[in-house]
């Protein structure tokens, strides 16, 4: 359910923050730490884990001493700089609810501007905000540039992308390859072998939901079915996003895929590369599947 608010927004945000039990993950363009700093300090004293991203500019740097103080108490508050403004205004509380909207946590936004604030506990919405937070928390300014402005092939003009492919290799190994793909060519630019758990863990993230998904399909409970699918998608995406840390020597990994069989009809088919995860900012130019040249 999503509740929408247009008045008394500052008090609503502070009230929600004070109810936090375990964690806050927030990306807010601008925060007035003269007001919210005391709230964060109270939460830290209660053992709440706090991660916050702010836009790196003079407005937020006015509060650098307050930010540094909160960080010494256990918070992780970062000023981040990308090609444009980090303009998000969302806060995930206890991984259960998300506050989002136009409202910055500042005095002008509270007393002068016309703003909106939404509070949502829908799992799919919260999960998507968690993935977005993790992406911009882990990706650098240069990473974002590589993803949003990929290099184009001089021959065909299509973006050149790096797809990490994984498959089981016997009982004990996972074969990892990086396929460099554009519109006119494919080539393997990296091959190595890892422990079988790399691929098996991917399968387990899918299989752990299979029985429950089948059960709710039989029951006809559409709400529970869509919630389970959302949970499965989040767990899989969260696991595959580990490629942000190990890029196999590549400047960036754009996507993760598997080689799988695609049926055309009952009798004919072919192997293709199916994309199972796309990095942030790539959905406009990475397809869901690719032919094997």
- Residues with a catalytic annotation lie at 87, 89, 94
Q: What is the chain's length?
A: 293
Helix (H) / strand (E) element for 21: namely none
* Alpha helix ranges (H) inside 8-118: 9-18, 33-45, 58-61, 64-72, 107-111
Burial 72-100 (b: 16+ CB within 10 A, else e): eeebebebeebeeebebbbbbbeeebbbb
Q: Which two three-digit tokens encode residue 65? A: 């001493």
Give me the half-sphere count of Cα atoms (radius 13 Å) on the Cβ side of residue 235. Answer: 15
Sign of the four-CA dihedral 45, 48, 49, 51:
negative
């Amino acid at each position: 359910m999503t509740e929408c608010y247009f008045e008394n927004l500052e008090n609503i945000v502070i009230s929600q923050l004070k109810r936090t039990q375990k964690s806050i993950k927030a990306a807010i363009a601008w925060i007035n730490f003269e007001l919210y700093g005391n709230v964060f300090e109270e939460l830290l004293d209660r053992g709440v884990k706090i991660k916050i991203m702010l836009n790196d500019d003079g407005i937020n740097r006015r509060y650098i001493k307050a930010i540094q103080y909160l960080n010494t108490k256990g918070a992780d508050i970062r000023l981040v700089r990308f090609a444009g403004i980090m303009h998000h205004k969302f806060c995930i509380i206890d991984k259960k609810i998300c506050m989002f909207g136009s409202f910055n946590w500042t005095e002008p936004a509270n007393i002068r501007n016309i703003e909106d604030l939404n509070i949502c506990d829908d799992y799919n919405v919260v999960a998507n905000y968690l993935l977005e937070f993790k992406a911009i928390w882990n990706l650098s300014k240069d990473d974002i540039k590589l993803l949003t402005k990929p290099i184009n092939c001089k021959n065909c003009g299509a973006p050149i992308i790096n797809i990490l492919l994984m498959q089981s290799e016997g009982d004990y190994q996972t074969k990892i390859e990086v396929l460099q793909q554009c519109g006119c060519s494919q080539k393997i630019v990296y091959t190595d072998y890892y422990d079988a758990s790399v691929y098996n863990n991917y399968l387990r993230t899918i299989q752990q939901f299979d029985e429950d998904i089948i059960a709710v399909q039989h029951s006809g409970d559409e709400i529970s079915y869509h919630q389970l699918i959302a949970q499965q998608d989040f767990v899989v995406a969260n696991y595959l996003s580990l490629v942000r840390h190990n890029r196999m020597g590549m400047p960036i990994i754009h996507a993760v895929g598997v080689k799988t069989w695609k049926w055309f009809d009952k009798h004919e088919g072919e192997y293709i590369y199916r994309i199972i995860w796309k990095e942030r900012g790539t959905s406009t130019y990475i397809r869901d599947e690719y032919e094997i040249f």
